[in-house]
Amino acid sequence: MNEKVKVPLNCLFQGCYNPVFEEEISKCKDKCYQYNQLNPNDRETQRNLLAQILGEMGENVIFTPPFWCDYGYNISVGNDFYSNHNLIITDGAKVSFGNNVFIGPNCCFTTAEHAIDPEQRKAGMEIAKPITIGNNVWIGAGSTILAGVTIGDHSVIGAGSVVTKPIASNVVAVGVPCRVMRQITEEDKNRYPVYKGD
């Protein structure tokens, strides 16, 4: 197996206009394109291609097409993972998902930040910071998770949130920027009636 290109972490580097990184991204885009052309119900072929794209992948992993990422091999996914349509992961740094993670449609996880200084930004300088998502996390539709964020186990991120800072375990958080609204409690088991069948 070829040695993977390593993006420098937590410091400015020449990310844009860099042929080494552009070549790696181009290879990954080709695989994502192939993945997105598959029959969405062809789970076996999807899994085989995901194994070529992702760095690590557990059991029962579903990425509903379309799905796009930059490198792929920086993404680690646990067991029983489900993402709805149109997940985007810019994975210059490591992006780790625990077990039993649900992701709504139209979500973005981006490890990249561009330079604030306009001259550095124009020159293509950027920074990459890892993202870590714990076990049993649900991320609502249209949410954006920014570079350097950690979301703790069992937490829920409300739809449309922009997560700019770490979120603790066992909480409901929502908003722009995303803020903790409350703890998850035993009462949440009774929030909705449970259908018992006929």
What is each CA distance from 4 to 9, 18, 91, in whole angstroms? 15, 15, 13
Burial class (CB in 10 A: 0-12, 13-18, 19+), 154: middle
Nearest of 139, 154, 126, 140 to residue 70 by alpha carbon:
126
114, 121, 154, 179: the catalytic one is: 114
Calculate the dihedral angle through the C-alpha atoms of 55, 17, 85, 170, rounding to the nearest 10 degrees: 60
CA distance 192 to 50: 35
- Is 85 among the residues known to form the active site? no
CA distance 88 to 66: 9
Q: Which residue has the tokens 């999807």?
A: 46
CA distance 81 to 67: 14
**What is the sign of the dihedral through the CA atoms of 110, 63, 101 and 192?**
positive
CA distance 119 to 32: 32
| Residues tagged active-site | 114
